Amino acid sequence: MTNCVILDACRIPFTKSDGAYKKLSAVDLGVRCTTALMERSPLPPEKLDGLIAGNVGSPCDSANIARVIGLFSNLPETLPAHTVARNCASGIEAVTTAVEKIRAGSGNVFLAVTTESMTQYPLLMGPQLTNFFKKLGKARSLVQKISIISSFRPGFLTPRITLLEGLKDPSNGMMMGDTADLIARDWDISREEQDQYALQSHLRALEAQEKKLFDDELIPVFTPEGKVISQDDGPRQGQSIESLRKLRPVFDRRYGTVTVGNACGITDGAAALLIASKKSAEKNGWPILAGIKGFAWTGCDPKRMGLGPVSASTALLHKQKLSFDDMDVVELNEAFSAQVLGCLRSFEDSKKVGVPTIEKLNPQGGAIALGHPVGATGGRMILSVAKQLERQQLKYGLATLCIGGGQGGAILLENPHV
Amino acid sequence: MSKIQLEILENQAHLIFDNKESSANIFDTDTLKELEKHVSTLEQNNSIKRLYIRSAKDSIFIAGADIQQIRHIESKEQAVNAAETGQRIFKRLSNLKCYKIAIIHGACMGGGLELTLACDARIASNHKKTKLALPEVKLGILPAWGGSTRIPKLLRFDKALDLLLTGKTLDGKRALKIGLVDACCPPEKMLEVATTFKVKRKKTLMHTLMGVGFVRNYALKKARQSVGRSTRNNYPAPLKILNHLTDHANSPEEISYESEARKLGELAVSSECKNLVQLFLNKESADKDRHWQDKIKKLPDIKKLATLGAGVMGGGIAHLAAKKGYEVRMRDISIDGLNLGMKSASSLVQKELKRRRIKKFEAIKTMSHILPVIDITGFSKVDAVIEAIVENIDIKKSALAEVEATVDKDCIIASNTSSLSITEMATALKRPENFIGMHFFNPVHRMPLVEVIRGESTSDSTVATIVDLTQSLGKTPVVVRDGPGFLVNRLLAPYMNEALRMVEEGLHPEFIDEALLDYGMPMGPCHLVDEVGVDVANKVAHILKDGLGERMKGSSLAAELVSQKKLGRKTGSGFYEYTGKTKECASRFKNHSWTGQTEDIQLRCLLPMWNEALRCLDEKVVETAEQLDLAMILGTGYAPFRGGPFTAATTYGWDKVLQKLTKLSERYGERFKAADNIQQFIET
């Protein structure tokens, strides 16, 4: 099986929605990463065999966002591009699709770009309003027009909020947060434990920022308002357990334990990665950041989608004949504290592949502090694992996510220089 | 050789403009004669129902009258005759019984557009090369082949005024919108559309309203005020156009034509016209000149650029190049520095977007062509680097050496320095033959001039490459020799010094500025010093004094202001005080005097500039006087209608210049001593 590697990767700072990036679309964010990555790469753009974008909230004016990003990124017109989606793991999906294409012999080098602008998720007209305008457009005579206008009801104006609808599982009517509350009940995870985990995420992220550990991942963004963003703005200085405790549960107001404090933030961000076959990298003398040893996708109970990482990591590690003891870094996406803790309990319970220790689990903080721009997170996690392995001269790193709708994804990276 | 073909098939005729000796169609006397001949043929033929007038050229319909022939008009009668000839032929054309359609694809300017106005209908293509305009006003004349009569009848009055007074260019779509053309379609469809086209012109309510007497008079009044403000009535052409419209908008055709012809007579012999035409020809020559490129066997293909420094100039240059499709790495040593450059590029793009000059995707494309970087490893892929960092020779040398070590061996390195020696900077480099000066003017997006400064080691190939790049960027190159102040700043400095000296002597800055604004300069010298920066002007004066001698010594007033941190606009006060959009004389100078003759003030500032121009020609800083004039007009806005410093001085009379300089040197000192070569210009 063809060995694949990550040549280079970068990301832009992640920012809270409706904030610094509000005038920038998912295309703009993706283009920023792509142009910066190709600017510094020794790889000539003509060598790319394809561009694959991971994105969830497809902007309606940029169908096949991968192609639009490609056309605005000074890349050859001849570069084919397509977009993939697997909810929260769309970022990892972009990378694993590149790997599969390389293994299938469809090319040697691919550019994966993962991008999301949750700020720009639109409001949609409800079906009644849409219908109203359709009929009005078809009306010819003044009488017809008046008759249709008089059929208008204020109720028609209720918009469909795509952000909220996107975070609801249509197969069971549960919001993502409801599934986390369910896992908390299943595994008896207290509110206090969840808040403590959330605090840890912020503290770790703040420490990483202080130690400038994200500097070799980040490229700055120059916004149209004239500001320069060079750091993630999610981690909260002075986040305290008291302030977390004060928050009311947001999904189940009376009996729930999941709050906005112990859940991931709604965020905008993007990342880009160059994936190549090891052979072509060596042949051309391109520097290698990390090797991709394997990946796995699994399906699980949608009502407990947060446990996706359990089935995915178990499948992956089992296939690789490794366990969590062999992992030096584990990035397990923090969609909700409850869900992360639930996974840990489940790993412990099953005893199949061991349990990640608290030290190696999300050592630089996670989505609770940094935010979760759904399509882009996968890119950030892979980049983060690769950089941690490189910086600390460690061998194996695992990135794994839960996926709305009941799936899990996991990818295993190795440091080729150790 | 034939310039127009007439093809007759049954009841359709085609008049095809195709000058076999050139890539352009121009209305010179031969072409007019040929047109007259064809019109005669058509007059005899009663079976023709439709006449199509078109061009066989790729991107030119008819680019206008022959500018060279305008240049050679020596008398009013000659001009009136030329006007009457065109008017007569176009009139005969318009009287032909067949239905006449002009099929316009490519540049349709001046006389070419006037030809189409004599037709029954005009169809323009929607191609980006199609441009329609009546630019005569920019050459100091007016449309005199019926254009000034037909346009006000065809268009809404205010639109007609706009077109005639500004000479602005319209694309097919905009031309359709105002009714200048009757249809706009893809070039491949034009003939098909023309075969059955029948125009239906409906006057909108606004159009009728605009034609009402007092509304029209109001529009004329407003236009006159606006022209007065922007030209200080130094340009006769727009004023004569206004007079013509005031007197003859409702006159019978014949009277209006006669007015056109008479005014052409008056304008074509004016010095303003001569100078504007010469400027046009000089600029065209510099823009199209390929004699440098022709010297080189293989001109490098420049696709990727880099700028060092993301300040006002670096950001402006990056934006210019990105807009033209180059990939530009913009480097600065700090993120905040980069943000400055990105902000200036972004605001330029957003302004254009707001004014609907560009579309959203063009805005995104331009910005994504600018790659802001701190690290220069990506420079190994770059074809040319333009350095625009702080004006400090040691810092520049070290930055240039650092870059040279990273770039390809054939990469050209250029410096945007305005005052430091190219030859001196080249000593820090291993490949000085690839180093050159490429001096842009501020603001980059508006100033057309680039001084291409050849250092002692700069190779022909490098000069050719940068001249070519300048032209590709849409700017006008003037090649100058390395030397203090190069050309433009060297000529500007003594002019500004005298202005400041006059303030020192007690004259009011506004008085001095008004005098030079009246002369035709775009900005008064005291205001200019404030805009440039008193510290910058002071520093340049020092460099010029060190390099050229005492005559370039700056005024001590400037040094004083610098020590008081009154640097001009950037600190809010200098010679003037700046609050928001208002400008008021600085309190310190408020009581200065307004006594003196305007002409004396003008001459006091201009004579040192004219004198220095002689030295520049003597030292071969620039090759020709035409290029010197061109550089000063394009780089500083020197009153274009006066033709530039050398032409202005020649018009004034070099003998008078010598007289005045002698008087001034008796009164004020050595710095007014005439240049050694002045005699040769007095004799000629």
- State pLDDT tens for residues B3-32: 899 999 988 999 999 998 888 999 999 999
Greatest alpha-carbon span in chain A: 79
Contacts of A230 in chain B (CB under 8 A): 335
CA–CA gap between residue B680 and residue A385 (Å, rounded):
78
Helix (H, G, I), strand (E, B) or coil at B546: helix
Q: Which of B330, B367, B375, B406 to mutate to test the interface with A (most CBs of A within 10 A)?
A: B367
CA–CA gap between residue B237 and residue B532 (Å, rounded):
32
B624 close to B632: Cβ distance less than 8 angstroms: no
Binned at pLDDT 50, 70 and 90, residue B445 comes out as: very high
Contacts 24+ apart (CB under 8 A), B430-434: B430/B404, B431/B404, B432/B457, B432/B458, B433/B457, B433/B458, B433/B459, B433/B461, B433/B462, B434/B410, B434/B459, B434/B462
Shortest distance between the Cα of B571 and any Cα of chain A, in A, equals 22
B306 near A CB under 8 A: no
CA–CA gap between residue B149 and residue B166 (Å, rounded):
17
What phi, psi does A396 have (nearest 5°)?
Answer: -120, 140
Q: How many residues does chain B have?
A: 684
- Residue contact A222–B346, C-beta within 8 A: yes
CA–CA gap between residue B529 and residue B531 (Å, rounded):
5
Is the pLDDT score of B684 beyond 70?
no
Binned at pLDDT 50, 70 and 90, residue B211 comes out as: confident
Residue B371 β-bridge partners: B329
CA–CA gap between residue A244 and residue A257 (Å, rounded):
11
Contacts of A226 in chain B (CB under 8 A): 339, 343, 346-347
CA–CA gap between residue A399 and residue A123 (Å, rounded):
33
The ipTM value here is 0.88
Stretches where chain A sits below pLDDT 50 are none
- State pLDDT tens for residues B259-314: 999 999 999 999 999 999 999 999 999 999 999 999 998 999 999 999 999 988 99
Is the pLDDT score of B554 beyond 70?
yes
Return the CATH number of the domain spanning residue range B4-269: 3.90.226.10
B327 near A CB under 8 A: yes
B140 close to B110: Cβ distance less than 8 angstroms: no
- Residue contact B335–A230, C-beta within 8 A: yes
Cβ pairs bridging A and B (under 8 Å): 46
Provide the pairing of β-strand A81-84 with A50-54: parallel
The region, left, alpha or beta by phi > 0 then psi within -120 to 50, assigned to residue A6 is: beta
Which residues have C-beta within 8 Å of that of residue B48, sequence separation ≥ 6? B8, B11, B12, B13, B42, B98
In this prediction, residue B23 carries a pLDDT of: 86
CA–CA gap between residue B516 and residue A270 (Å, rounded):
55
CA–CA gap between residue B246 and residue B238 (Å, rounded):
12
B143 close to B114: Cβ distance less than 8 angstroms: yes
Nearest residue in chain B measured CA to CA from A74? B369
Q: Which helix (H) or strand (E) holds B41?
A: helix B29-44
What is the residue-wise DSSP string for A329-387?
A: EEEE--SBHHHHHHHHHHHHHH-SS----TTTBSTT--HHHH---TTTHHHHHHHHHHH
Report the range of poorest mean pLDDT among A28-42, A48-62, B154-168, B554-568. B554-568
In this prediction, residue B210 carries a pLDDT of: 86
In this prediction, residue B90 carries a pLDDT of: 96
- Residue contact B368–A227, C-beta within 8 A: no
- Residue contact A222–B371, C-beta within 8 A: no
- What is the mean pLDDT of the segment spanning B57-73? 92
Contacts of B347 in chain A (CB under 8 A): 226
Is the pLDDT score of B1 beyond 80?
no
CA–CA gap between residue B246 and residue B342 (Å, rounded):
48
* pTM, two decimal places: 0.91
Nearest residue in chain A measured CA to CA from B362? A72
CA–CA gap between residue B254 and residue B241 (Å, rounded):
17
Helix (H, G, I), strand (E, B) or coil at B359: coil
Contacts 24+ apart (CB under 8 A), B445-449: B445/B316, B445/B319, B445/B320, B445/B348, B447/B634, B447/B635, B448/B283, B448/B474, B448/B475, B448/B476, B448/B634, B449/B475, B449/B476, B449/B478, B449/B488, B449/B630, B449/B631, B449/B634, B449/B635
SS (H, E, C) A10-29: EECCCEECCCCCCCCCHHHH
- State pLDDT tens for residues B579-614: 888 889 988 899 999 999 999 999 999 999 999 999
CA-angle at B418, arms to B413 and B424, nearest 5°: 55
- State pLDDT tens for residues B332-346: 999 999 999 999 999
What phi, psi does B225 have (nearest 5°)?
Answer: -60, -45
Which residues have C-beta within 8 Å of that of residue B106, sequence separation ≥ 6? B55, B57, B58, B59, B60, B61, B125, B127, B129, B130, B131
Domain boundaries, chain B: 4-269, 300-481, 488-620+653-683
- What is the mean pLDDT of the segment spanning B508-528? 95
Return the CATH number of B488-620+653-683, one of 3.30.9.10, 3.40.50.620, 3.20.20.70, 1.10.1040.50: 1.10.1040.50
Report the percent of chain B where pLDDT is more than 90.
Answer: 87
Residue A11 β-bridge partners: A218, A271
Question: Shortest CB distance from A222 goes to which of B327, B339, B377?
Answer: B339
B5 near A CB under 8 A: no
Active site residue B439: yes
- What is the mean pLDDT of the segment spanning B460-472? 97
Tokens representing A335? Answer: 């969609």
- Residue contact A220–B335, C-beta within 8 A: yes
Peptide bond preceding B443 in cis form (omega within 30 of 0): yes
CA–CA gap between residue B382 and residue B412 (Å, rounded):
9
Return the CATH number of B300-481, one of 3.40.50.720, 3.40.50.2020, 2.60.40.10, 3.40.50.300: 3.40.50.720
Place of tokens 């000593």: B427
Greatest alpha-carbon span in chain B: 85
Nearest residue in chain B measured CA to CA from A228? B339
What is the residue-wise DSSP string for A292-304?
A: EEEEEEEE--GGG
Contacts of A12 in chain B (CB under 8 A): none
B324 near A CB under 8 A: no
Binned at pLDDT 50, 70 and 90, residue B205 comes out as: confident
Report the percent of chain B where pLDDT is more than 70.
Answer: 100
**Residues of chain A contacting B, Cβ within 8 Å:** 27-28, 31, 35-36, 39-40, 72-74, 220, 222, 224, 226-228, 230
Residue A123 β-bridge partners: A161
